[in-house]
Chains A and B, each alone.
Chain A
């Protein structure tokens, strides 16, 4: 039982820091660069990702293990997952529009774009590729999405300050954002030493 708890803790830490979905795995980068101009909107995006990711990867885990495997339909994995996620995003969109219109305004175009946010789909795939149990999968999705939130909020706070820094003309805008991400990625690489996985 103790090893089981430790295992879950390791899954969480690994998803959150060591294999950070944005900076180490390079998944979900479109929104990482697109929505990180202001720290408020990146916070909103991170929150939306947590909500959708935990929900969708639990649903897709159930679908995969109780529908696709018993009927030998594993080849429908990609197709069914993306449809489930698209439906869940619609749901989340309506939910946020009704209960938090300010947040809805701030997220703007990026909320529907969560459908094509690779991070959501990737978390669902990875949970299955790693043969996680339902509980482990839940913790994994939570870790991945919190890692997303952490990275994008840190990144947008740095970007807000970079605007006023003297930067060579050619590097203004996107290139300096990439360099910043590179340095952050270097820092996150340091977490590899946390435990020998």
Chain B
């Protein structure tokens, strides 16, 4: 149980997939223009990570070592296809906004990385905890980035106006360069905090 807590917290803080490992950046930067889309992306991503970790952990004794990567990719691609159709069916608007980034979860380094580094070596319980920790760590960062960008770039959070009426939005923040710049400041902040 103690190990479980440790694995969970690791994913959120010490080994946060985005800030520390710098993996899977594409959706984080691309989909963080509004907080709602970012939350949707975080949930879709966590879904794929959770189920691929579960399946791979259950099959870990049966997967031949040499062909493990193709097997992982097939498992991941299956769940990506499922979530792609689920989102398209239940929330067409979200599906349009996320666009090509849902199928691209299949090549997200975090998902494959967790399969390779964790799920194929640990039991079901720990793999589920690991997926939840990593998924939440991912979602927190993508939503945080989106909240900052949406607040500065459109003056709203989750579509609700926060800033006063006469606020001039910094449109650059919801354009592509804004993502890079805010991300630079987030990582610099984290470097600063870790040094102390």
Contacts and interface: CB of A to CB of B under 8 A. Distances in A.
Interface of A: 23-30, 33-34, 75-79, 82-83, 86, 115-118, 121-122, 125-126, 129, 168-179, 181-183, 185-186, 189
B125 interface: no
A82 B180 contact: no
Given A26-B176, A126-B100, A178-B181, A82 B77 contact: yes
A171 B26 contact: no
Interface string B49-61: 0000000000000
Nearest to B112: A116
A83 B74 contact: yes
B23 interface: yes
B195 A170 contact: yes
**Binding site of A, secondary structure by majority: helix, strand, loop or mixed?**
helix
A182 B29 contact: no
Q: Which one of A24, A79, A176 has the highest number of Cβ atoms from chain B below 10 Å of its Cβ? A: A79
Nearest to A34: B22
B188 interface: yes
Nearest to A114: B107
Contacts of B109: 30, 116
Interface in B96-120: 99-100, 103-104, 106-109, 112
B184 A23 contact: no
A175 B85 contact: no
Contacts of A171: 184, 188, 191
B80 interface: yes
Output the residue of B25, B103, B180, B192 with the most chain A CB within 10 A.
B180
Contacts of B187: 174-175, 178
Ranked 3 nearest A-B pairs via Cβ: A182-B180, A178-B184, A26-B30
Contacts of B25: 26, 29-30, 33
Given A78-B84, A122-B100, A174-B187, A189 B106 contact: no
Interface in B57-110: 69-70, 73-74, 77-78, 80-81, 84-85, 99-100, 103-104, 106-109
A169 B145 CA distance: 22
A26 B29 contact: yes
Contacts of A30: 22-26, 109
